[in-house]
Structure 1
Amino acid sequence: MPKDYNIVVNDCASPPVLGLTHLRTRATPYGGRNFTSSFQDIIGGLPERLTPIQQDWLHILTSIFAADVASKRGAGDDWSRRIQLWIGVREPDHWKPLKPQIELVFKSLTYDQFAVTFVADPDAPPTPRQDREAFPRADSVALVSGGIDSLTGAARLLDLHRTPLFISHQNSGAVSDALQAVDEGLARIGQHAGRRSFTAQKEGIDGTESSQRSRSLLYMGVACLAAACLDISDVYLNENGIMAINVPLTPARIGSFSTHTCNPTIVYDVAKIAGQALGWTGTIHNIIVTSTKPEVVLEAATLGLRDVLPKTVSCWQIGRTRRHCGYCVPCLIRQISFEHAGLSDTSHEIYPLDTIPNGGIRQQTAIDNVTHLAAHVLALSQSDEFELELDFTEIINCDGQLTRRQSMDMHYRWAEQCLSVLERHPHSAHLLGR
């Protein structure tokens, strides 16, 4: 059964439902703030002060992300949620026609039921001021997360003599350290328009949800706003094609158990909504979408970032610990990719391709993840093209970012690369019957 959440932002409405959750991005007469965000590092460098609609856009994105964080998932059949959200905005008539598209993107990202209601906010905060010199001239906006993929995509842009403005969502010490290393590495490759960060995080909310599937909507939406204000048509959200398309490892992982943060269809839909909302006529690109993770790692090394790669972050738990766990799917893919590229990486807590730790939740999670990954890539390698389309339909759902042929070839290469590493390690080789 889906869990029900009825959420009101900044006490903007009093809907006739039981069990309301109150999220406050600012203090109101009814309570103090419990979710904080700051976009001033970005807003301050824009050429003009934000319009009411642009301010609404940031508030809507923040409120949706806050609702995701505040709606704790259950286990098993209680994993999915029904979320009703009320948001106060300055221009409700502008946002009501966009309600279906916004709901659809959230549902596509999270696989939850979601409904949003826009109401008038008579107490909306004033327009923030510009408090710094304007950004240097840029020809694009690129998102940089502290991970390998966004690092490599940014480096490729610089190598192509583009001048991007980099934007980051900074929410933990480990990510901050990684971003500092990324900054230093990119500075060696070429000139850019700088990197600016925003924050959006809980402040005193109990029982928060860690999956945060809607984070990329906030991430892309902020970049589209910056691009619209700077009259830039190109936004880049770069992720390797395997994780962007992200075919579920097993049928049990279909839905919100598998992330869709850079899925080509969702990226297209977010750009379309941003265009309708902001009058922006641009595109969100992924310039490494035809590359596997090992190929992305190797490209970064070729571009002179070999020393930066171990300082990047990949782990799902990196916001809660400064060390890679080693057993989540991104950690496993990272271990395989570094080994296939012949590069040294940072240390991981465990290495389940070799041995599984005894006891605790790590044991079963590590067993499941390695088993599912091994079975998945083995099935990919043994499937002909007809079987790929039939059994792994996401492979051909690319919405113009890459062709059917490119996607199939990339998945075949990934299966070969992954198997070549799994066969070298005792535990994973045993699972493959080697």
Structure 2
Amino acid sequence: MRHHRIECGVAQSSTPDSIMMDVQGPGRNVKLRIDYITRTMLGNVPDLLIDLLELAAYVYCADQRIGRGSEKLPNFGEDWRRSLHFSIPVRQLDVWQDPEINDLLIQTLGFLSDDSYEFEFRQAQAPAQPQSLYFANLIDGSMENDEVALFSGGIDSFAGAVDDVAINDKSVTLVGHSSSTKVRNVQELLISGLKQRGFERKISYIPVWVSNESERAREYTQRTRSFLFACLGLVVARMSGKDSFSFYENGVVSINLPLAGDVIGGRATRTTHPKVLRGLEGLFSALLERDIQIRTPLQWLTKKEVVLRIRDAGFSDRLAMTVSCTRPRKWTGTQKHCGVCSQCIDRRFAVLAAGMGDHEPADSYMRDLLLADRSSDDDLRMALSYVSFFQRLGSTSKERFLIDHPEIVPALDRFPGLSAEEAGTRLYSLFQRHAKAVEDVIANAVTKHSRSLFRNELPSGSLLAVCFSRGHVEVAPAPDYDTRTKAFIDRLSAPILEFAVDGRGKRVLFRGEHSLDGANFRMVEALIENFRRAKAVDEEIPFMASVDLADRLGLNDQSMRQQLRRLREALEPLVVSLGIPLDQDTFIQTKERSGYRLNPALREVSMADIRSESALLSKA
């Protein structure tokens, strides 16, 4: 893992290899600007939200500036993940130094981008940058609304806006982020189209510009963009006196399962993953000391079903104006979709599955989804992985669904109002419907182009030709499939994390051959005495004060909290190996002003029990 120090708001870096970033002054290299808000709204922005805006801008711009290396690395674990240490000036130092805020920030961003984060906050020196720096083109009058929603200009965000305005009869303030004029032009064109259809009084648009200045982006995937987007949504919502805002994104993209074996971790983006959204809600609620909610009204729709929402609302003629491709540098006046990236592939399948191909010409894509030659570079592999993945998923049973796709497990307990079992059932139905849509597109295209396929007239590297020639490949289940499925579902319905302590070997053992040692073991060792004593007499397990735990470990308070974060990260593989949803309190609980303890729901067992079942599970 490569380490990077990002020093923000400084005139001179402390080390030669530090990255300097600033939103103000002669050294400004981060642009942050929010347009077209009312003067009244501006007066509602507290210093804490200005701090949050600056922090989000720094994180997003650093993410773009710091590359991860080649995206074709077959095993990129150590080379792909980055360790990012930020030093940031803030106006409300006491709030940002709160351990709970720091933990929520680190854990949410860590899961979102698959990087390791550290934040060092310091008091902003006078004169702190005034609010007005970031708010241009102020307008008079009010901007009242029923909803605040994030607007990217893609199919999902347009469908969500149409649904709220035209179907649900709501007034909506749309917050659009862009880092290029091309993206902003798309958003403005769509907004203008809505207003021309008689919804001018129901639509207000607040464009936001956040980008690096004089620095070319090296990492185009923008994994932290949703953090920036959510922070912008929160700021505008609070300026409007609201405690909620909406992300318009379909559920298949939200979960975003990896389509290929090497598309994992940071490369399988988690922009609106339920775990990320619940983490953001927790962070925002803790910051503002009020209940903040992030709504996802399209969560249980596939992309095809989202396209049909646009059709049913009478906006089919606007479909081609939406843009889903995340590579604006490649756009031309007539082609704004590369046709190669996963977003373009996903979009085109949805449009064709919805029977809306006539409303979006194939030549608006630089590479036709089904008929173009994709044999160069990695283009065919991306498209074929997409089809193959949903082909396999379409023939997967409900019982097998979670076993084959353990990446779903962290999302199961993150849907408000649904049990893990209910969420699993709904996700299975969602992905089955999407898989059926992909299958229908391929089947219809084979029928339509059957003569060309028979005559070998299509490029051999086209997606349709490859799908036609390869046929179906079935993955055989493990010999003990039924037994392992039952064990997995039993653990999911009533998850209990069991562990054993190997005192001689200085390790904490878990099923599946996972263990904690070194500094992680010493932290568990410091807390195990209270755990055992209380369990033996069936009493409440006491918390150990932060200062006492730090003293027992021989660390200062900040180092102790960093060690706790590393311990929690070390447990993440248990999500996959055991199918147990984890959050920050699953193993070691934290309680403000009380301290730390091992979670009372844990179960300590013998080393023999752990080793015997681990040996059984390892047999395939």
Q: Please report the TM-score for the alignment, with normalisation by the length of structure 1.
A: 0.92
- The 10-residue stretch of structure 1 (37-46 or 150-159) with the greater mean CA deviation from structure 2: 37-46
Shift of the alpha carbon at 1:135? 3.5
Letter in 1 for 2:190: V
RMSD: 2.2
Q: How does 1:386-397 map to 2 (within 5 A)?
A: 386-395=399-408, 397=411
Does residue 132 (structure 1) correspond to residue 123 (structure 2)? The answer is: no
Judge conservation of contact 2:45–2:235 (CA < 8 Å) in 1: no
Q: Give the one of 356, 372, 382 matched to 1:355.
A: 372
Task: Give CA deviations for 1:44-94 in whole Å, capped at 9, x if unaligned.
Answer: 451625222121111111111122122122122322211111111111111
1:254 to partner: Cα distance: 1.2
Do 1:241 and 1:289's aligned partners in 2 also have CA atoms closer than 8 Å? yes
Taking the aligned partners of 2:436 and 2:470, their CA distance within structure 1 comes to 13
The answer on whether the counterparts of 1:353 and 1:428 sit within 8 Å (CA) in structure 2 is no
Structure 1 residues 428 and 43: CA distance shift in structure 2, 3 A: farther
Contact 1:3–1:74 under 8 Å retained in 2: no
Q: Output the CA distance in 2 between the equivalents of 1:280 and 1:155.
A: 30
Q: Sort the Cα spacing of 1:296 and 1:431 in 2 relative to 1 into closer, same or farther, 3 A.
A: farther
Query: Are positions 1:80 and 2:100 aligned together?
Result: no
Alignment match, 1:410: 430
Out of 152, 155, 177, which is 1:169 matched to? 177
**Residues 39 and 82 (structure 1), Cα distance of their counterparts in 2 relative to 1, 3 Å cut:** same
What letter matches 1:334 in structure 2?
A: R
Is it true that 1:429 corresponds to 2:467 in the alignment? Answer: yes
CA shift in 2, pair 1:43/1:212, >3 Å: farther
Percent of aligned positions that are identical: 23
Select 2:388's aligned residue among 375, 382, 389.
375
Alignment of 1:65-104 (within 5 A): 65-75=60-70, 76=73, 77=76, 78-97=79-98, 98-104=101-107
The equivalences for 1:243-282 within 5 A come to 243-282=253-292
* Structure 1: gaps of 5 or more residues: none
CA contact (8 A) 2:36 2:205 kept: no
In 2: Cα distance, 1:13 partner to 1:406 partner: 53
1:410 is displaced (CA, Å) by 0.9
How many Å separate the matches in 2 of 1:316 and 1:10? 29
Decide which structure has the larger Cα Rg and report it.
2
Distance in 1 (CA, whole Å) between partners of 2:215 and 2:88 is 18
Change (3 A) 1:170 1:85: same
Q: What one-letter code is carried by the residue in structure 2 that aligns with 1:23?
A: M
CA distance in 1, matches of 2:218, 2:328: 16
Report matched runs for 1:9-408 at 5 Å: 9-11=8-10, 17=15, 19-27=17-25, 32-42=27-37, 44=39, 46=41, 48-75=43-70, 76=73, 77=76, 78-97=79-98, 98-123=101-126, 124-128=128-132, 131-158=138-165, 159-187=167-195, 188=197, 190=199, 191-206=201-216, 208-322=218-332, 323-343=336-356, 344=358, 345-346=360-361, 347-357=364-374, 363-395=376-408, 397-398=411-412, 399-400=414-415, 403-408=423-428
Counterpart residue identity of residue 116, structure 1 = F
Q: Deviations over 1:278-312 (max 9, x none)?
A: 33423111111111111111111111111111111
Q: Does structure 2 conserve the Cα–Cα contact (< 8 Å) formed by 1:236 and 1:287?
A: yes
Gaps of 5+ in 2: 447-463, 473-620
C-alpha deviation, 1:127, in angstroms: 2.9
Q: Secondary structure at the match of 1:244?
A: helix
Q: Tell whether the 8 Å contact from 1:47 to 1:230 is kept in structure 2 after alignment.
A: no
Residues 178 and 311 in structure 1, CA contact (< 8 A), matched pair in contact too: yes
The CA distance in 2 between the partners of 1:379 and 1:189, in whole Å, is: 45
The answer as to whether partners of 1:80 and 1:111 remain within 8 angstroms in 2 is yes
- Normalising by structure 2, we get a TM-score of 0.65
Cα distance change of structure 1 residues 328 and 189 upon mapping to structure 2, 3 Å threshold: farther
Does the 8 Å CA contact 1:13/1:119 hold for their aligned counterparts? no
Conserved 8 A contact 2:13-2:20: no
- Matched position secondary structure for 2:434: helix
Mapped to 2, the partners of 1:119 and 1:47 lie a distance apart of 25
- In 2 relative to 1, CA 334–233 (structure 1 residues): closer, same or farther, beyond 3 Å? same
Query: Which shows bigger deviation, 388-397 or 88-97?
Result: 388-397
Deviation of the 1:178 alpha carbon: 1.9
Native 8 Å contact 1:171 1:319 kept in 2: no
Decide whether aligned partners of structure 1 residues 400 and 26 sit closer, same or farther in structure 2, where only a CA change above 3 A counts: same
Rounded to whole Å, the distance in 2 between the matches of 1:43 and 1:215 is 25
Q: For 1:364 and 1:6, how far apart are their aligned partners in 2? A: 34
- Per the TM alignment, residue 189 of structure 1 is displaced from its structure 2 partner at its CA by 6.4
- In the aligned structure 2, how far is the partner of 1:206 from the partner of 1:185? 33
| Correspondence for 1:4 | 3
Count of aligned pairs between the two proteins? 425
Indicate the structure whose relative CO is greater, using CA pairs within 8 Å and at least 6 residues apart: 1
The secondary structure found in structure 1 opposite 2:265 is coil
- What is the Cα deviation at residue 267 of structure 1? 1.1
Q: What is the Cα deviation at residue 416 of structure 1?
A: 0.7
CA 1:324–1:206 in structure 2 vs 1: closer, same or farther (change >3 Å)? closer
Runs of 4+ in structure 1 over 6 Å off: none
CA–CA separation in structure 2 for the residues paired with 1:290 and 1:207: 34
Q: Distance in 1 between matches of 2:91 and 2:353?
A: 52
Contact 2:330 2:338 in 1 (8 A): no
Change (3 A) 1:13 1:64: farther
* TM superposition shift of 1:369: 0.8
Tell me the residue number matched to 2:493.
Answer: none
C-alpha separation between the residues in 2 aligned to 1:275 and 1:227? 13
Q: How far off is 1:211 after superposition?
A: 1.5
Comparing 269-278 with 313-322, greater Cα deviation is found at 313-322
Which AA in structure 1 matches 2:19? T
Q: d(CA) in 2 for partners of 1:234 and 1:19?
A: 40
Query: Quick check: 129-138 or 307-316, which moved more?
Result: 129-138
C-alpha distance in structure 1 between counterparts of 2:224 and 2:39, whole Å: 25
The DSSP-based 3-state class of the residue aligned with 1:169 is strand
